[in-house]
Copies of this chain bind each other. A is one copy, B any other.
Amino acid sequence: MQLIDGKAVATAIKKEIATEVERIIANGGKRPHLAAILVGHDGGSETYVANKVKACEECGFTSTLLRFEADITEEELLKKVDELNNDPDVDGFIVQLPLPKHIDEQKVTEAIDYRKDVDGFHPVNVGRLSIGLPCFLSATPNGIMELLARYNIDTKGKKCVVLGRSNIVGKPMANLMMQKQTPGDATVTVCHSHTENIAEECRQADIIIAALGQPHFLKADMVKEGAVVIDVGTTRVPDSTRKSGFRLCGDVDFENVAPKCSFITPVPGGVGPMTIVSLMKNTLLAGKGEIYK
């Protein structure tokens, strides 16, 4: 069994990006600039955005954090989005989700210029991903593809089971894994709450990507010997021994599943660190104008 060290890969990629940014600057180019809009004071969102700003520093990017109180109107927020769309110095930007209930998240997502949508949530980027065209890939699937590539995991013709059909993980993950590309070219099955015999589906899989958000859902008897297991789950479960009062729990019963696997990602330190790195990769691509001119 080999542990997939997402933290180490993430660190390596950030260094690669920083080196490339230095080269761009040395050649008289522009420093990539990521902006983030944060509405309100949700604890999780504060942490995520702070980590994104920190990653920008590590990569040598300019970052701008725009903070608004939770009572900002949808109209005001859409105006800010429009300002960033039209700011020539901003290469890409994100609106941290979730947003307060009085704001339509889908409307805000679609208001972002798809050429600056480094989260990859705009329908144009989702559609181009499905068609197989260059686009901003959404962060978690992008990070998983990178891990599969860096560990040289063979996916061609393999049976891949994706657990979960969310718009930000399950569906784009399935679409990427079935593309005619490497990694990819897998025979993909998407399982969800209505799947009749999910254990049997998993037992047939060479690669399982678990993104249900159900702590320890995937048990050892659902995994065949030698399988590759990617754990996307990051549920916060109460833990009084931690300073924060919680710990992150994956979708995989790691202790019992790991011994059967050829490769497995831990939680934390697996897929998680790759997510922010994917955002950095997209910001670099945006800065270089490599996907959209």
Residues of A within 8 A of B (CB): 106, 122-133, 156-159, 165, 167, 171-172, 174-175, 178-180, 185-192, 194-196, 201
For A191, list chain B residues within 8 Å (CB). 187
Docked-complex contact B123 and A127, CB < 8 angstroms: yes
Chain B proximity of A80: nearest CB distance (Å): 23
Docked-complex contact A194 and B190, CB < 8 angstroms: no
- Residues of A contacting B: mostly: mixed
Docked-complex contact B133 and A130, CB < 8 angstroms: no
For A187, list chain B residues within 8 Å (CB). 189-192, 194-196, 201
Shortest Cβ distance from A200 into B: residue = B204
Docked-complex contact A127 and B132, CB < 8 angstroms: no
In the complex, what distance in Å separates the CA atom of A175 from the CA atom of B126?
12
In the complex, what distance in Å separates the CA atom of A133 from the CA atom of B124?
13
User: What are the 8 A-B residue pairs with the smallest beta carbon separation, nearest first?
Assistant: A127-B127, A123-B127, A126-B127, A189-B189, A157-B194, A187-B195, A185-B194, A157-B196
Docked-complex contact A171 and B106, CB < 8 angstroms: no
In the complex, what distance in Å separates the CA atom of A169 from the CA atom of B95?
33
In the complex, what distance in Å separates the CA atom of A194 from the CA atom of B188?
11
Contacts A/B (CB < 8 Å), 11 sampled: A106-B133, A125-B127, A126-B130, A127-B128, A131-B171, A132-B167, A158-B196, A174-B174, A174-B178, A175-B175, A187-B190
